[in-house]
Every structure is written in structure tokens, then in C-alpha cells.
Amino acid sequence: MRKFSKLAAVLVCGAAVSGAYGTASATTPGTGAGSSGTTAGTAAMSGMDAAKAMVAKYTDPNQPIGVTTPLTRKPDKKKFAWLECELESCPYETVGVKAATAALGWDAIIISSKSGEPAAAFQQAIDAGADFIASSGEALALYKDQADAAKAKGIKILSAYDTEVPHPDDTNVYTQFGDKQFVEKTGPLMANWAIVDSNGKANPLIVSIPDFPVLVAETDAYKAEMAKNCPDCKITELNVKIADLVGGQVPALVAAKLQEDKSINYVFNSFGSLPIGLTDALKSAGLDKQVKVYGQDFSKANLDEIVAGTNGAWSADPKGYVGWLLVDAAARLSLGMPLDEERAAANLPTFLVTDADTAKKISDAGGDWAPPTMEQDFKKLWGV
């Protein structure tokens, strides 16, 4: 998740927020110190081996796209409306939407949408005569009336980065790419990276915004994996408001938490814009040597921090690729094809960036990652 607020000089990456959530903190220990003697040692070794295996699994960028079935034919021209939110991840998805619709010869209607308040943008898409409407990170409850109105007109809705499983007959929402199952993969991946990097001595601070249901699923999965593979590791949580992020207050909140608890040695960010400005804040407070900053869903800024040596690993949330997936689903629906692979494709590929050379290459290419042969693979399936 992944986004950039045009009203503030901070990057915000993640799904759209439906409201503010109170700033709070809590400490969640692992499952305990464990049994004594050989049993504890064996369990620790088993957890470390599991952590290393998962980290190794996602260090290869050469991953396939999530659909394999060719279209029955090239679809007729359609109008595809994409609701582009004001935050930084949405333009990455827009790049994918524009490229994919151009490949099919479709019309892309790009409509500005306010995070957490998408109803007006949905209505605009309906009024524009769209055949399909796609959005990112918006809960169905926020546009239920428009979803019903779209259904009455035969307009199908495609979604990404929310937790609600598609039930098109009931809700008129046909996809949910990057859903709960995806973050239940990336959360554990990032927990395991800290376990391996610290040699089983990670005491991370989780920084997140619980307004995002996807982020709640991600951080819950992170905590469960940490407890399983590193029972002696201690987790502390810092839940911030979207207003804190837009207002640039997150670095100060993190620094305050680190000053309170000197045992914290990692800062895990549930999406890429949470640590923007944190490096300077930590240096100013003399805390930069205490912790290693890292997270899920990188943006260009996070990659540049890896290059500078001020951030550790970041995992990818392939946002442009999601744009292609959304258009692919629309193409299949336009031909009356079933979305047989939607649930599998929803579990997006990811890639763990840990070294400066790789980070620089991706940053120089724009800051987003996708399976390397993505465009060619989709075009082959589409016969274009």
C-alpha cells in the first residue's frame, strides 16, 4: 500500500483510509521465554531455519503473473474508469491501468478520488458511461449505493487492497487483488527478515494505521510469525492517525517511543510512507544507532534509504501490476469469461529488496516493481 498527499510534503503509501484512528501504543510479548534446556534450543533453531527459508524464497524477482488462461478473443472496445486517489500509491496503479487499456485499445477514464470518500468519484464514473469501474483500498460500505446503481446499469466494479472477498452477485464487486491473503504472506516475511537479520534478537516497534483493514491483517500476521519463530523477541506497537502521517508527525511519535524503550532495535513500517522523515528525526535525537528501519510496500523513497544505508530490507507491493490485473479481469468479464484465477491472482507476488544495487535499479526505474515479463505475458494472453 500503499500513496502521496498533495496537501503535505509527506509520502503516504497504502490503501485508502476511511477515517482517523486514535494514536495508541501497546506492548505484545512473544509466547514467552520458552522451555529450558534442549527443548528451547531446538525450538529456537527450528524457528530460525523457518525464518531463513521464507526470506530466501522471496529474494528472486523472476516471478510469474497471476493469470494463465488466454482470452477467447480480443475484446471489443470498452470504457474503463479508474478512481485515482490523492495518495502516492494510486499513481503507480494508474501507470498500469493506462498501459493495459492502451494495449487493448480501450478508453481509460481517470477520475480523481478522495481517500475514504469515494462515492462521488464512483458516481462520476457512472455518469461518464463507464463499462467498468476500478478503485483501490476503498471499503464497499463507502460506495454501496453507487455499487447498486452501477449494477442496475450493467457496470461492473473491480477492487484492490481491501479485505472483503468478492461476491459479485450480491455486491457487484468482482475482484479483490492484494487482499488479506497477500498481506498474510508479507507480514510474516518481514517478521522473519528481522529474526534472521538480528540472529533471533529482534525487538521491533510496529508502526501502522489500523484504519486500513489490510494493515490490521498484515500486522496480526507479523506478530503471529514473530511469536512462532522468535518467542523471546518482544513486539511493541505504535498505531498512528492518518492525520499524523499527513501532518508529518510520525517521526516524532516513533522517536518518543524509542526514547521510552531502549530495548527496541527494529522499526517495522506496515507501508512505505510511514518512515518518511524518520532518518533525520532519529539522527537529531541521537537514536539512529539504536534501530534498523524497514518495512513492507516500498516506494522510491524507501529504496533510496536502502541505497543510502539508512534503511534495511523492504518488500514489494506491485502496484502497477495490480493495474494490469484489474484491466485483465475487465477484459475477461467483457467476453463473458469466468474469473477462475481471481482468488489465486489476489495473492500478489512480492520481492524482498535488501541490497543497495537492487534498490537503486528499481528506484531509477520509477520505484515500483513487477514480475519482469509482466507486460509481454499479459499481451500474449490477450492476443495483442
Q: Please tell me the distance from the alpha carbon of residue 291 to that of residue 254, in angstroms, as a whole number.
A: 11
DSSP 372: T
276/360 Cα distance (integer angstroms): 18
**pLDDT truncated to tens, each residue of the chain (384 aa)?**
433 333 333 333 333 333 322 333 344 444 333 333 444 444 555 899 999 999 999 999 999 999 999 999 999 999 999 999 877 778 899 999 999 999 999 999 999 998 889 999 999 999 999 999 999 989 899 999 999 999 999 999 999 999 989 999 999 999 999 999 999 999 999 999 999 999 999 999 999 999 888 899 999 999 999 999 999 999 999 999 888 988 899 999 999 999 999 999 999 999 998 999 999 999 999 999 999 999 999 989 999 999 999 999 999 999 999 999 999 999 999 999 999 999 999 999 999 999 999 999 999 999 999 999 999 999 999 999
What was the pLDDT predicted at 283? 97
* DSSP H or E segment with residue 27: strand 24-29
Angle between helices 213-229 and 38-57 (to 10 degrees): 140
Question: What's the confidence (pLDDT) of residue 134?
Answer: 98
Predicted local distance difference test score (pLDDT) of residue 44? 52
Q: What interhelical angle do 374-382 and 89-104 show, nearest 10? A: 40
Global pTM reads: 0.84
Dihedral angle sign, alpha carbons of residues 53, 58, 61, 62: positive
SS3 label, residue 7 = coil
Bridge-based pairing state of the strands 107-113 and 79-85: parallel
- Please provide residue 261's backbone torsions phi and psi, each rounded to the nearest 5 degrees: -130, 100
pLDDT for 24: 37
